[in-house]
Amino acid sequence: MIYNIPYLAVAALILVGLYGVVFKRNLIKMVIGVTLIESGVNLFLITLGYRKGSTAPIYTSSPGGLMSLPVPQALTLTSIVIGVAVLALMLSFVVYIYRHYKTLDARKIGGEDE
Partner 1 sequence: MFFDNLPALAVAVPLFGAFLTPLVSKIGDRARNVFVILVMGLTTTVVFLLVNDVFTNGIQTYVFGGSYQPGETVIRIFFEVDGLSAFMAIIAVVLPLVAVIYSWGFMKKETGLDKYYTLILLMTTGMIGLVLTGDMFNFFVFLEITSISSAALVAFWVNKGKAVDAGFKYIVISSIGALFVLFAIALLYGQYDALNMAVLANSIQYTFLDKMALVLLLVALAMKAGIVPMHMWLPDAYGCAPSSVTLVLIGATQASLYGVFRVVFTLYGRELTTAVNQVSLNVLLSVFIVALALATIVVGVLMALKQSNLKRMIAFAAVAEIGYMILAVGAALSTITVDSNTGVTMLTESGEMALKGGLFHIINDALDIGLLFLVAGAIYYATRETSVNKLGGLARNMKYTTVFFLIGLLAVSGMPPMNGFASKLLIYESTYQINPILAVIAILCSILLLAVFVKVFHSVFLGPKLSVFKDTKEVPKSMLLAMGIIAIVIVFFGIFPELVVNNIVQPAADALTDMLKNGLYVKAVLGVI
The site for partner 1 (CB under 8 A) is made up of 14, 21, 27, 30, 34, 37-38, 41, 44-45, 48, 69, 71-72, 75, 78-79, 82, 85-86, 89-90, 93-94, 96-97, 100-101, 109-110, 112-114
In angstroms, what is the minimal distance from the CB of 88 to partner 1? 9
Nearer to partner 1, 62 or 79 (CB): 79
Q: Judge whether 73 and 56 are in contact, CB under 8 Å.
A: no
Cα–Cα dist 33/64, whole Å: 42
27-49 and 5-23 helices, crossing angle to 10°: 160
Nearer to partner 1, 8 or 82 (CB): 82
Question: In 10 A of CB 40, how many CB atoms?
Answer: 19
What single DSSP character describes residue 65?
S
Query: What is the identity of the amino acid at 48?
Result: L
Nearer to partner 1, 41 or 63 (CB): 41
Cα–Cα dist 13/19, whole Å: 10
In angstroms, what is the minimal distance from the CB of 54 to partner 1? 15
In angstroms, what is the minimal distance from the CB of 25 to partner 1? 13
